[in-house]
Amino acid sequence: MDEQAPVSADYPRRVRYRAGLVGERQRVVHIAMPLACGDFLALCELRLAAAEAEEISDLLGMPCMVCTRVLALRSRTPVSEQARPQIGAG
């Protein structure tokens, strides 16, 4: 079993460190997938232990810029040729 494998790829969760574990500045909200072991693996490759993570349902907090960027890149559906302008067709 690969413990890195996400339990559910439905949608990413928003998680951050619980208060008191790290400085407020590091409590940015990551976009993360839950792992089989209960930990979260953020798009920025930070791994948050289940005990250290707090899940956020609302759009609260300062987003992790790396996670945000990775998510944006991912959601841009790769390579549809239809999206490209047809050059020389005519």
Least separation in angstroms between residue 2's CB and Zn ion is: 21
Nearer to Zn ion, 75 or 86 (CB): 75
Distance CA(15)–CA(40), nearest Å, equals 8
Q: Under the rule (CB under 5 A), what is the footprint of Zn ion?
A: 30, 42, 44, 64, 66-67
Which residue lies nearer to Zn ion by CB, 9 or 83?
9
Buried b (16+ CB within 10 A) or exposed e, 28-49: bbbbbbbbeeebbbbbbebebe
| Amino acid (1-letter code) at residue 17 | Y
Of the pair 53, 67, the CB lying nearest Zn ion is at 67
Shortest Cβ distance from residue 64 to Zn ion (Å)?
3
**Least Å from the CB of residue 35 to Zn ion:** 15
Let me know: does 31 contact 64? Beta carbons within 8 Å.
yes
